[in-house]
Amino acid sequence: MPKGASKSGAARKAAGADPKAGRPAGTTPRTGKPRARKTSPRQHSPSAQRADSSSAAARRVLKRLVQGETPPTQAMSIVERLAGSPYANPRVRSGGPDASARKTLDLALGMAETMFRYGAGALEVETAMIAVTAAYGLENIEVDITNQSVLLNYSPKDQTPITVMRVVRSWTNNYAGLALVHRLVTDIVDGNVSRAEASQQLNAIVHQPKPFPRWAVTFSAGLFAAAIVAFIGGSPLGSAVGFASTILVSLVQRVLGRWRVPDFFTTAASGFLVTALAMLFWWLDATDAANLDIAPGIVVAGGILLMLPTGRLVSAVQDAINGFPVTAAGRFLSAFLTFGAIVAGIAVALVAGALVGMPRLEVTEVASSQYPFAVTLLLLAVALATISITEQSPANLVLPTVLIGVGGFLVSVAAETAGIGPRLTPAIAAIVIGMASRIVALRMGAPQLVIAVPAILFLFPGLSIFRSMYGLSIGLDDISAGVIGLFNALTVILAIAGGVVFGDNLARPLTRNLNGNDRRNRRR
């Protein structure tokens, strides 16, 4: 190439001309206009970068302050309902939902029906159903629970939805069965049980005999009444009358149950028998026909404690607090009907006694234990052990129930010594019992209710109920005092139930590592 050409090309390049198109560099081929220059991030100055990043950060902070972390109408994942429950962080099966989803739904419904029949609360039933369906790979699940029915809806995307429902028509005392279902759900959530194995185990739990035979339950009920009468302040003869009347009541309830008599009338007849027998023995003492030392109010108080709907009241308060208003309303209505039946039976017995000429009672005297403090603790321990047998609790939970109940009694004694009122003292003891029951029960593979309900029974004001009903039925001059006393008794009962639920919630941070975190760590 000639040297002149090379120089001319270099001159054009130095002057900014394009050697290929004969046009200035940086222009477009068609128009010859200057082309927009693209600047790389490296060409920005450090001050400009800092300004842009600080502006973006400020916008993000402002957006979070104004809008929040998530949109306000975003639906909550139903698996998040398991947070804080014993079934948190379930091991979800990979590979999508099972083709036979109906079998999983039937398994979850069978568990829910069994748990409801054995006395579980609505929140525990709901979390168990969610945990089981999630563990077997079913999403898009909705659960609806009322007082007697459980509805489960499965609506996968682009498929026909499935809705199944189960109605619970019977209840029984079987805390051992409830604990077994709790352990089965825990094994399912851990991923250790297949669906077929879970169905077989649930069927075995339903058909498994209760841990204690019927005669042992009847004898334990009488022994509980005798121990609690002595614990409240009754004499040995009063304990004997309480034992005999409770045995008789158990036999009558069994006969009326075979005759399909409604629970309301069965409970009313039981309250009548307990009161009538106590008044009869007291009348014999009052007429000098025998030298007996018996306080009918204490005997009745010990006899009606077994009839009080303790488990339903605790579950009703728990359901109301946890957002199940329909279920809570149904449980409250059932519990108050039972309470009304007890009151009606006591009132009929008192009126009948007055008609046959029984003298008036002195119900304003304050009762206290006639035995040393160590003997009082022993009587309470016997009462707690026998009520655990009556509720068909697992055998390995009887001793923990006794220890927790005795601890709650010591707390109530300390609170009473400190000058706390008689209405707040049982609630404080119930809070302590509720906390300890959750911690111990979850460690031993059972729900909190199994320990808490038998452990709080001694706190219920049975003597106040009898005194109030005597004022309403016999003492016409003390009707207002009877109404106030009955209202106070109801207030204390609700405070005890609320204290158990509050203690359960207080203990949740202490029990997170028992199931959920351990399960999450194993999965990691």
pLDDT digits (tens, 9 = 90+) for 240-251: 999 999 999 999
Nearest residue to 496 (alpha-carbon basis) of 462, 438, 442, 457: 457
What one-character-per-residue DSSP string does 294-332 give?
--HHHHHHHHHGGGS-HHHHHHHHHHHHTT-HHHHHHHH
* AA letter at 136: Y
Mean pLDDT over 287-312 rounds to 80
Q: Please give the distance of CA 518 from its chain centroid, rounded to a whole number.
A: 22
Residue 207 has pLDDT above 90, yes or no: yes
pLDDT band at 290 (very low <50, low <70, confident <90, very high): low
Residue 441 confidence (pLDDT) above 50 = yes
Q: What is the pLDDT of residue 513?
A: 64
380 and 165 in contact (C-beta within 8 Å)?
Answer: no
State mean pLDDT over 162-181. 90
Nearest to 81 by CA among 133, 123, 46, 112: 123
pLDDT in tens, 130-143: 999 989 988 788 99
Residue 355: both structure tokens together? 């008609």
- The region of weakest confidence among 250-264, 433-447, 470-484 is 470-484
Model confidence at 13, pLDDT cuts 50, 70, 90, reads: very low
- In this structure, which long-range contacts are made by residues 407-416, counting pairs with CB atoms below 8 Å and at least 24 apart in sequence? 407/432, 407/433, 407/436, 408/432, 408/433, 408/436, 408/455, 408/456, 408/459, 409/377, 409/380, 409/458, 412/459
Report residue 372 as tokens.
Answer: 């040393």
- Give the span between the Cα atoms of 87 and 189, in whole angstroms: 7
Question: Is the separation of the CB atoms in 492 and 461 below 8 Å?
Answer: yes
Summarize the confidence of residues 442-471 as an average pLDDT. Answer: 89
Chain length of the chain: 524
Cα atoms in the Cβ-side hemisphere of radius 13 Å centred on 193: 21
Confidence of residue 114 (pLDDT cuts 50, 70, 90): very high
Question: Mean pLDDT in the chain?
Answer: 82
348-361 per-position pLDDT tens digit: 998 898 888 887 77
- Cα 292-377-384 angle, rounded to 5 deg: 90
Please answer whether residues 400 and 446 qualify as being in contact, where contact means their C-beta atoms are separated by less than 8 angstroms. no
User: Which two three-digit tokens encode residue 344?
Assistant: 């009606």
- Tens digit of each residue's pLDDT (9 = 90 or more) over 35-81: 545 444 444 455 555 556 667 766 766 666 555 444 444 344 666 76
Annotate 247-267 with b (16+ C-beta within 10 A) or e (fewer). bbbbeebeebeeeeeebeebb
Give the pLDDT mean for 254-260.
92
Position 232 pLDDT exceeds 50: yes
Burial of 346 (0-12, 13-18, 19+ CB in 10 A): buried
Please report where in the chains the tokens 């946890």 appear, as a residue: 322
* pLDDT level of residue 12 (50, 70, 90 thresholds): very low
Residue 139: its pLDDT value, please? 79
